[in-house]
A and B are shown apart, each in its own frame.
Chain A
């Protein structure tokens, strides 16, 4: 090969390298722009949801306030019953508004945790006590089993309480009268593990993977609930650096497990 041909080949190679570098650079810029655009979209969505939720809360204030006034008047038992249905549904709208806000925040990684050392068993005891009346009325055995050496865990008490409430109220929703629900708390390899098991109808295998999707409702579920509870719970647990998983067998029951680092 002549010196000239060698130079030419070197030049060609250099051009190729520079061009490839240029493409890569442009691709990086394009990716970065796309990433920024998506972030901006996410932020706009969160802002939009916050404004809408704000606008919905004001009329709900009047709806519930005036309902309360009428209920305190002298409605017939039938009217009182209807008014309570209206009130309950206004409450569902409010739950939906709060859940939508949480979902929008979670999507943008804006779930703010205020962590403090918390005894998880006290969170569980509160949640169990809240559901005790319904469990008793439906003859569902509600058991709380706590290993002694759990200690304090650094977490957002309110948010983890929200997760526990979601798991327990789901368990109650899907467990037939006379069934049982067990809540277990025990240490596991530097984590704490919380299991909520029920003897409910179970979840078909093909639906288990979709359970944590927004608005997904397992078959056999009544219209109650926003379909957002599990998606939010997963986001909350993951924001704590933990994991939320499900195991289920149809006709036998379901266990949701929360693993939290200590």
Chain B
């Protein structure tokens, strides 16, 4: 069965780009665009990996990160954080908060796919 990637990203163009990419790599995808939909969709889709954009409106990226880390069913799911904040300012904080990997925007697709494959153990 195909593994599922949940993408939490508020930018519609980037969601569409990642859908195209991940599906052509054989993954199933699910999408959320804010803190509220993130938890609802996470429950419904039972993802194997989560891509989380830290720059959700209202600084909610960190909030989602914390919720996912503390809620039992999601705590073990690897989270790949993507952020338009430079790695210098956010990478360390993200890894300390439990992120599996940090990918700076704009990302090279191959770098993101590598982080995803590593997170999934593929």
Mark A residues whose CB is within 8 Å of B. 50, 53-55, 57-58, 60-66, 68-69, 90, 94, 98, 101, 112
Which of A58, A98, A101 makes the CB contact (< 8 A) with B105? A58
Q: Does chain A have a CB within 8 A of B121?
A: no
Question: Whole-angstrom distance between the alpha carbons of A58 and B57 in the complex?
Answer: 13
Question: Whole-angstrom distance between the alpha carbons of A50 and B55 in the complex?
Answer: 13
A65 touching B55, Cβ below 8 Å? no
Question: Whole-angstrom distance between the alpha carbons of A113 and B19 in the complex?
Answer: 38
B86 touching A62, Cβ below 8 Å? no
B11 touching A58, Cβ below 8 Å? yes
Q: A69-B20, A94-B106 are in contact. Are A58 and B86 (CB under 8 A)?
A: no
Provide the residues of chain A in CB contact with B20, threshold 8 Å: 69
Interface residues on B, range: 10 to 19
| Proximity bits, B59-87, A CB within 8 Å = 1, else 0 | 00000000000000000000000001110
B14 touching A61, Cβ below 8 Å? yes
Q: Does chain A have a CB within 8 A of B27?
A: no
B84 touching A61, Cβ below 8 Å? yes
Q: Does chain A have a CB within 8 A of B109?
A: yes
Provide the residues of chain B in CB contact with A58, threshold 8 Å: 11, 14, 55, 84, 105
Which of B86, B88, B89, B105 makes the CB contact (< 8 A) with A61? B105
A60 touching B106, Cβ below 8 Å? yes
Provide the residues of chain A in CB contact with B17, threshold 8 Å: 61-62, 65-66, 69
Provide the residues of chain B in CB contact with A61, threshold 8 Å: 11, 14, 17, 84, 105-107
- Interface residues of A: mostly helix, strand, loop or mixed? helix
Nearest 6 Cβ contacts at the A-B interface? A57-B84, A61-B106, A62-B13, A60-B106, A65-B17, A61-B105
Contact residues of B between 77 and 122, Cβ < 8 Å to A: 84-86, 88-89, 105-109
Q: Shortest beta-carbon distance, A89 to chain B, in Å?
A: 13
Q: List 27 A-B contacts (CB under 8 A).
A: A50-B85, A53-B84, A54-B55, A57-B105, A57-B106, A58-B11, A58-B14, A58-B55, A58-B84, A58-B105, A60-B105, A60-B106, A61-B11, A61-B14, A61-B84, A61-B105, A61-B106, A61-B107, A62-B14, A64-B106, A65-B21, A65-B106, A66-B13, A66-B17, A68-B109, A69-B17, A94-B106
Question: Whole-angstrom distance between the alpha carbons of A62 and B88 in the complex?
Answer: 22
Q: Which residue of A lies closest to B10 (CB)?
A: A58
Q: Which residue of B lies closest to A63 (CB)?
A: B106
Q: Shortest beta-carbon distance, B85 to chain A, in Å?
A: 6
Provide the residues of chain B in CB contact with A65, threshold 8 Å: 14, 17, 21, 106-107, 109
Most buried by B among A62, A66, A68, A98: A62
Q: A58-B55, A65-B109, A69-B20 are in contact. Are A101 and B14 (CB under 8 A)?
A: no
